[in-house]
Amino acid sequence: MADKDAKTLTENVEFIEYMVKRYWQAAGASEAHADAMAYVIGFAHRQGKLNQGLGVFEAPILTLMTENLDIKAEPEIVNEGPAWAVVDGHRSSGQYTLVTMANIAIDKARQTGIAYVMGANHNDCGSYAAYTWLAYKEDMAALASNNSPPLAAPFGGMENKLAVPPWDGIIPSGDEEPIWMSTKLAEFYDADVATAYLQGRKMKGKWLIDPETGELSDDPRPYFVQIEGMGRVSDYTAAGQIAHPRTYTQNLFMEGMTSIINPIGRITPHVPRIADFAQKADYPSVGGSFFLAINPAAFGPVERVKEKADDFANIIKNTKPRPGKSVRMPGAKGYKNLKAGTTEVQVLENHWAPFWEKAESNYGLTEEQLRADFAAGK
């Protein structure tokens, strides 16, 4: 989610998807690759996760500019069995690679009930909720994640050796909101530092570990590292504190799932730092990823699964609330937007302007031109 004090614009999400697709095609992407990119960026806005929307599109733009992303590459199955596969992204975008992996897992799970697909050698993936939603639409459950550049310190440490992995999952439901998990296994990641710095405010907690003293701070100013020409995509020199042993353990386990058991995975300490991608780095920004699809229809009637999910959601939502509080299912607002087909979404002002600056300077694409083309159905 974006900070509540951030300045936003109201836009048509279908136009956001259109302009992202046009940009990515102008950069040389195939239609399938551009469609995947537009879907994932637009999905984040539909869900209300603004830092995973247009702002995160800076990541593939940066890695393309510095030749860390091969826009012509096609993700490829390099090994597989009936219920598993290994996909080499060949330095493609994470968005294209993970859409490919999700579809492979979903197809296999139709036959085997459970399918596990591992990936590596690809770039940042954006919002993982976009991928688990693909399984939900097929009445399947899903779990998915990836590792990242080193962004967090081990519990008690003061050097970044760990990823800040997304941890996303979803369970089928009927008419009610699903159990939908979309979180990260650390207190913050790079977008939180950039947002706080650009808005001139403190972090939400004292989670920045000074690399010299080990003292904790909530002030991003001494540690923020601007990457030229970028806004949301940036680095920081502080170590990232993981505040609780529980989160630390989950973070380590996710490293095992994304890279260690992955035959082509690379562990986070060997993934380049974000600032390294301002030049050609020796490896893309994701060392390993996975998508697990579970097809409950293989084990029994899927309608019974949906009935139980709805019953559970209703019981949870009808819990007596504490004074001044409410009880809801996580992701409920985004789910309702998706089910209603809402096209009016929010976008951060400090993500909107940089997109158009790059679109015009790199490919001669202007907002006026693309709005006209969009209105004309081109």
Query: Which CATH number covers residue 264?
Result: 3.30.1370.60
Strand 141-146, strand 289-294: pairing = antiparallel
Q: Look-up: residue for tokens 């630390």?
A: 248
β-strand partners of 80: 85
Task: Give per-residue pLDDT as tens, 108-159.
Answer: 999 999 999 999 999 999 999 999 999 999 999 999 999 999 999 999 999 9
pLDDT (0 to 100) of residue 4: 54
Instruction: Calculate the alpha carbon distances from 203 to 3, 173, 188, 195, 197 in Å.
Output: 11, 36, 9, 9, 9
Q: Is 114 a domain residue?
A: yes
3-state helix, strand, coil in the chain (%, to 5): 40, 15, 40
Q: Is 2 a domain residue?
A: no
Q: Is 41 a domain residue?
A: yes
β-strand partners of 84: 81, 116
Given a cut of 60, whether residue 245 has pLDDT beyond it is yes
Q: Is 126 a domain residue?
A: yes
- What residues make up the domain containing 250? 8-316+327-375
pLDDT average, residue stretch 265-292: 93
Q: Which residues contact 31 (CB under 8 A, 6 or more apart)?
A: 25
How many domains does the chain divide into? 1
Task: Give per-residue pLDDT as tens, 5-60.
Answer: 578 999 999 999 999 999 999 999 999 999 999 999 999 999 988 888 998 898 89
Question: Cα(121)–Cα(137) distance, rounded to whole angstroms?
Answer: 27
CB 277 within 8 A of CB 62: yes
